Every structure is written in C-alpha cells, then in structure tokens.
C-alpha cells in the first residue's frame, strides 16, 4: 500500500490497521484530544507561508488528482501506465516534528573522521567522497539507533546512539516497520552479496 502522494510503501497489515484506527476514531465520540503546548501554539502562530502569486492550491480534490496524456497504447492504458501527469502544484503543510540536535550529528562525523580519516557507511562501506569526489566530501547521513519517536521530550542522545550510513542503507532501515537494527541490516547486505 502506498500513501497518497508518497513513494514510501507500507505493508498491507499496517495499512489495514491505520484505516481501522481512523474509522474507529471518526466514530468515537469519547476520543481524546491532545491539546497543543504553549510552545507548539506559538510556533504555529508564527508560521509564515511563502506561496508565489497565482499558484495558490485550489483544494479541489478532482483537480489535484488529474492525470493527463495516457500512453496511446491501449494495453498501457489498461495496465494504468501514464506518460505524464501534472506536478509542481504548491501545497502548504504544517508538521510538528521532533527536534534533532545538529551539533551532536556534526560531532559524530568529526569523531569518525578523526579516528578513521573518512566518512563511510557503517553498513556497506560506501564512501561518498571516493565516489563523487569533492562534491561528496563530508557527506553522509546519520541514523539514530534509538528512534526519536520513542524518546520522551528532554531525553538524551549519546554519540554511541548515532551511526553514519549511506542514503540507501538509511532508507532500507526505515523502509517498513519494524525498522531494521544495524546487525539485521549488515546481515541482509552480507547474505545478498553472496548471491
């Protein structure tokens, strides 16, 4: 199952669970509303939206989902292939996100660089600098081994809770729940490398 307007897949079991929870929540008159904190309310009040003139989203569901120029091959049309579709419409979304500490991530990169002289993926060994030259220097993603969604506000993250990963390995960890642990990811890489 794919979320609307997302390339991320969720498995059918999770999708069914979400649908059932949303339906139940919609019918539940005793549902609990979680009020915003004062800080969250201030953040929302101070949001500024930068939407270029003439490109304000219509909000028209039918217009937003319009798909044009189906491939002229009847077999393709039956199979649902499209040649082009409208994209680039401006939408404004507000999200409340968990804060990450960029200084801690930077410190992790500095420590690894000082110890090894390079920033490589801890799972597969990919080296952005080696592959992309100057453009890849200092580039690598940082994975939190303790999911931020599980942390209580104010919890501490330590350098040992961070792992440097290439974009592919990081995406594979988060591709579906339950998220892979590092040992499972490296086992998966090693098992498939032998094929």
pTM given for the model: 0.57
**Pairwise CA distance, residues 166 & 145, whole Å:** 15
Q: How far from chain centre, in Å, is Cα 81?
A: 26
CB atoms within 10 A of CB 119: 22
| pLDDT band for position 65 (cuts 50, 70, 90) | very low
DSSP structural state of residue 181: P
| pLDDT band for position 40 (cuts 50, 70, 90) | confident
Q: Which are the contacts of 129, defined by CB distance < 8 A and separation ≥ 6?
A: 118, 119, 136, 137, 138, 139
Residue 3: the pLDDT is: 57
58 pLDDT higher than 60: no
| pLDDT band for position 158 (cuts 50, 70, 90) | very high
- Higher per-residue pLDDT: 30 or 2: 30
Percent of the chain whose pLDDT exceeds 70: 73
**Helix locations, the chain, DSSP H:** 12-27, 38-45, 61-64, 74-79, 102-116, 128-132, 167-173, 182-193
| pLDDT band for position 68 (cuts 50, 70, 90) | very low
pLDDT tens profile 87-114:
888 877 777 777 788 999 999 999 999 9
- Identify the sign of the CA torsion 78, 83, 86, 91: positive
Percent of the chain whose pLDDT exceeds 90: 37
Token representation of residue 155: 């919890």
Domain ranges, ordered by start, for the chain: 1-28, 58-94, 102-193
| pLDDT band for position 119 (cuts 50, 70, 90) | very high
**Pairwise CA distance, residues 149 & 36, whole Å:** 17
Residue 99: the pLDDT is: 74
């Amino acid at each position: 199952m794919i979320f609307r307007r997302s390339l991320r897949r969720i498995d059918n079991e999770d999708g069914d669970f979400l649908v059932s929870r949303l339906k139940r929540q919609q019918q539940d008159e005793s549902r609990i509303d979680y009020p915003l904190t004062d800080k969250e309310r201030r953040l929302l009040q101070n949001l500024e939206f930068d939407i270029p003139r003439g490109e304000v989203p219509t909000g028209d569901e039918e217009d937003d989902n319009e798909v044009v120029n189906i491939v002229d091959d009847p077999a393709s049309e039956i199979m649902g292939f499209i040649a082009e579709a409208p994209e680039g419409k401006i939408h404004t979304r507000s999200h409340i996100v968990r804060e990450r500490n960029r200084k801690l991530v930077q410190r992790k990169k500095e420590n690894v660089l000082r110890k090894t002289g390079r920033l490589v993926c801890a799972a597969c060994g990919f080296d952005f600098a080696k592959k992309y030259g100057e453009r890849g220097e200092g580039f690598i993603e940082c994975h939190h081994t303790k999911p931020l969604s599980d942390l209580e506000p104010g919890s501490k993250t330590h350098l040992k809770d961070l792992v440097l990963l290439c974009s592919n390995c990081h995406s594979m960890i988060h591709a579906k729940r339950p998220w892979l642990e590092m040992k499972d990811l490296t086992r998966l890489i090693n098992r498939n490398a032998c094929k």
